[in-house]
Amino acid sequence: MKRYRTGPPTADRTTRIAVSATISGTLHYPLWRRGDLDGFFGLMVDNLVQVLLIVALCVTQAGIPESVVHERVLPGVAVSLLVGNLFYGLQARAVARRHNNPTCTALPYGINTPTVFAYVFFIMGPVNRAALADGLDPAAAGLLAWKAGLVACLVSGAIEFGGAFFAEQLRRVTPRAALLGVLAAVGVTFISADFAFRIYAQPLVGILPLAILLLAYFASYRFPLGLPGGSLAILSGTAMAWLVSIPAVADAAGTRPLMSLDALRAAAAQLHAIIPTFVGGEIAALVRDQPDLLLRFLTVSVPMGLLNVFGSVQNIESAEAAGDRFNTAPSLAVNGIGSLCAGLFGSCFPTTIYIGHPAWKSLGAGCGYSIANGLFFTACFACGAGALLGRLIPIEAGAAMVVYIGIIITAQAFQATPRAHAPAVAVALFPAIAALLIVNLPLFMVDAGASRTLAEMLTGADDALVPALTGMVTLTGANSGWLVGSVVLVAAATSLIDHRYRAAALWFAVATVLTAAGVLHAYRVEGNDVRELFIWQAAPPSAGIVAYRAYPIALAYALATVMLALVAWRSRTTAVANHEERPANRE
């Protein structure tokens, strides 16, 4: 049987395991070993931060009632984590025996961080605000936003499952820079930047955990007793949050209390058994009665699903480079099944194979850390402990971890692509910056009690103090079309860097068609809400609505397509002529 390298030479713990297995002459691969404890805490903290994010963002940004988050969303999260973590744990045991690889480490798996932000900010939040504007009461608007998120999760899960069969074709057609560039854009804006602002809004709670994480992950510092940096960061942030919530300390520090013992007691009193509920019927009814909630947000769910497929393939390749070879098709298929289970049992958030397999391998983790992670969150949410976790650990304590995740996502986009493609990756940042401003601007205006709406500001944009406002809205588009637009623009830029003019022309042709159809750049602004304006929709004739078809942009893209097609033709003609001249020159 062919043997594979079991890991990097510096991984002392995994080396000792391999040596002991070789000496004994038989493969010993236990369900649990010492390194699984470190691995469990690391993966648990990662997923715990995602859970805190889900609770905070669903309530504050999407308007979903807390009871729905704790009774429906979190049990669905538990189902998705249990399915995936059990599979990847058992898969590691099978691979270890098949390849005689005693140091095999299970693929890390959990909630997809970029998708949490994308679905909350670009799907569920807009649906909630539009429903409120249409006269629905807050509870009904929150339920509608939740169901829209479920539909998007199922779309993403179906793409992830299908990725098991077409992942290689996707990689051949789409430049790596185009897909990773969008992840970098989301990572540096809606993930890292947003939570960096939170850290400096509560510096006594957020800065110390950030310093601990940077020490652990940037400097690779080993803390006493081998304590994981992520766990220490969460514990220190939580301790500081409770400390500054003491009235005397809060007054002395000039900060506001974050935590409440009364709220914690109330959450503890609400512990009760919860069984995940199948919501397929509710999803089917929504798609039947309001199909636009599926179609409008395909510009978010489809690219995020494709990005998840691509990222998972990259992470499987990373595991193979570290010495653990997993079959791509079943690994991707179960990733998709986990997301489908999430949507069918109440969670709006797809799962993914995490980056960082070599880090868990260097800890000496095997399969136990993955299985324990799935069982831990199932136990937590089966007894209704979601509210208790939220009252015990503030989101500010996990803000540093979120910032770090966004930094790593952004860094990977530049590191995992050819150096020459780095400028193309940077192209994706411009639409993301515009989107960050346009998503938050209406919220700032409402909080400030502004007398003018976004629509009114756009109407008088020629005399505005910020003349670029129209361009920001146009670049962002409706229903987060900027995600698709970023992929197209970065792909075209990558093709130009590689002198593939025909491919660049094709990408601009795609942009032309999508823009003419209203998928990219077109919008209508009603008050402070930016909504879709597809080619088949009539622009509402109202003085309070600003509508933009984006036909001038489609024409500009078409001109660029023609220009690049001519460049491709000229380049090909020149190449043929040079090839024909060479024999004559040799004579």
pLDDT on residue 464? 58
pLDDT on residue 217? 81
> pLDDT digit string (tens) for 366-417?
999 999 999 999 999 989 888 888 889 888 888 888 888 788 878 878 887 8
- In this model, does residue 19 exceed pLDDT 80? no
DSSP-derived secondary structure for 425-474: HHHTHHHHHHHHHHHHHHHHHHHTT-SS-HHHHHHTGGG-S-TTHHHHHH
> pLDDT digit string (tens) for 260-269?
899 899 989 8
Which is nearest to 490 in space by CA: 435, 553, 423, 556?
A: 423
* Residue ranges per structural domain of the chain: 30-417, 420-576
pLDDT on residue 171? 66
- In this model, does residue 256 exceed pLDDT 90? no
Which is nearest to 533 in space by CA: 546, 516, 543, 518?
A: 518
Mean of the pLDDT values across residues 2-21? 41
pLDDT on residue 330? 92
The pLDDT confidence band at residue 580, using thresholds 50, 70 and 90, is: low
> pLDDT digit string (tens) for 236-248?
999 999 998 888 8
Exposed / middle / buried, residue 430 (Cβ in 10 Å: 0-12, 13-18, 19+): middle
Please name every residue paired with 529 in a beta bridge, in sequence order, or none if there are none.
Answer: 526
Reading phi first (left if > 0) and then psi (alpha if -120 to 50, else beta), residue 256 is in beta
pLDDT on residue 114? 83
Mean of the pLDDT values across residues 75-85? 95
> pLDDT digit string (tens) for 322-374?
788 998 889 999 999 999 999 999 999 999 998 777 778 877 889 999 999 99
The pLDDT confidence band at residue 3, using thresholds 50, 70 and 90, is: very low
> Does residue 395 sit in helix, strand or coil?
helix
pTM confidence score: 0.77
Which is nearest to 440 in space by CA: 123, 121, 145, 201?
A: 121
- In this model, does residue 142 exceed pLDDT 90? yes
Residues 543-563: b if buried by 16+ CB within 10 A, e if exposed: eebbbbbbeebbeebbebbee
Specify the pairing of strand 351-353 against strand 545-548: unpaired
- In this model, does residue 316 exceed pLDDT 50? yes
Mean of the pLDDT values across residues 488-511? 94
The pLDDT confidence band at residue 26, using thresholds 50, 70 and 90, is: low
The pLDDT confidence band at residue 12, using thresholds 50, 70 and 90, is: very low
